[in-house]
Structure 1
């Protein structure tokens, strides 16, 4: 059976990540911390600790993911394919808002419950629609690159959906662990569209100082 392997990487940190602002489709660049994280990722990919023969590189077309890919994987000499299908969830009118303010508003009975799969988001995506987009995007890649190994750069929300699909966990269930910037997450999809988790949340390539910034 043809099985496609994915090494899915979250982009490096942005100033908005550090300030807990909702980014969504807004094209926020990497911060100096995020650039350094991408450089550490490049060192790891060039070390004996990462001995995977990568066949293709695909990235979200948003700058923070694409630049992470360019910095960390440029040495592989492979074309960098940009895909809007791998973008973060679109949060519509809420993009740019402060997470703490949104959490407080929801706690007081107002605002939007972004974890409700069917919750409509004005000018954005419901969690259900976002999950469907991401699932279809990865399954299309698995068909296009059957039996290959792909390095994919994307976003925290995208990795959350991949984690749920690979573990068979519902959209409204709590996730116990955070998704850190430039974490590496390994899963596979076979030709029958079965997802399997292999390794998750690898961050050993980050220096202690960089971890202090994101934990």
Structure 2
């Protein structure tokens, strides 16, 4: 059995300042830090004392700090993977969300969605984000450790799930899962049929 816990980092400064996140390297708020501790406790309850666990994280501060709190509680180190970063919004990163909203060009309902140009200089396409998310997941599952924790971002998490269920990357242009800051998603693979499932999606019960 493989249990992969996908964590979206909790509240960060850009959330409350209404700024574009992406690669803008904002830190957790005080509330975010408290929620990271609750995430760590929620995960610790799920793992027996002798369970082998790995923790992977985006290198961006808000995710890495969350992962460090989780890893400390579980008694392990953090493996940092830059491919677990959020989508880059190019020059919009760190600017007011309203600035991006005025310039953003949404993808078409049909046709090319993955390589669509959103109209913001330096921004990643969905394709570029998906390629690195798929690659990151492939590296994670190369390990034979049964319990794994991946701390990432909302946009990236959608494509990690798409990769997990074997969705061809070319077909991932319309998929979208909604994640809350600090949510826990459980991806599970059995060791007999090797079927993969999304056993829990965006649980936030530990935050209340």
Q: TM-score surpassing 0.5? A: yes
Secondary structure of residue in 2 paired with 1:139: helix
| Residue correspondences, number | 195
| Paired residue secondary structure (1:151) | strand
**Matched residue, 2:127:** 128
After TM superposition, give the deviation of residue 73 of structure 1 in Å: 3.1
> Is 2:186 the partner of 1:186?
yes
Kindly report structure 1 stretches of 4+ aligned residues shifted beyond 4 Å: 166-170, 188-191
In structure 1, the residue matched to 2:37 is 39
d(CA) in 2 for partners of 1:189 and 1:87?
24
The match for 2:47 among 46, 51, 67 is 51
Q: Is the 8 A contact 2:64 2:151 kept in 1?
A: yes
The equivalent residue for 2:115 is: 118
In structure 2, what is the Cα distance between the partners aligned to 1:87 and 1:13? 16
Work out the CA distance in 1 between the residues paired with 2:195 and 2:163.
9
Asked if 1:98 corresponds to 2:109, the answer is no
Match of 1:213? none
Deviations 1:145-172 (A, max 9, x none): 0353211111111112223444649544
Where does the alignment leave 5 or more consecutive residues of structure 1 unmatched?
208-215
Maintained 8 Å contact 2:81/2:136? no
TM-align CA RMSD: 2.8
Q: Which residue of 2 aligns with 1:211?
A: none
Give, in whole Å, the separation in 2 of the partners of 1:68 and 1:10. Answer: 9
Q: CA deviation at 1:181?
A: 1.1
Secondary structure, counterpart of 1:38 in structure 2: helix
Q: Quote the Cα distance in structure 1 between the aligned partners of 2:13 and 2:89.
A: 18
- After the TM superposition, which residues 1-215 of structure 1 pair with which residues of structure 2 at under 5 Å, given as runs? 4-47=2-45, 50-51=46-47, 53-103=51-101, 105=102, 111-113=104-106, 116-120=113-117, 121-143=120-142, 145-146=143-144, 148-166=146-164, 168=167, 170-173=171-174, 175=176, 178-188=178-188, 196-207=197-208
Deviation for aligned residue 1:194: 7.7
Determine if contact 1:139/1:189 at 8 Å carries over to the other structure: no
| Residues in 1 aligned to 2:161 and 2:78: alpha-carbon distance in whole angstroms | 24
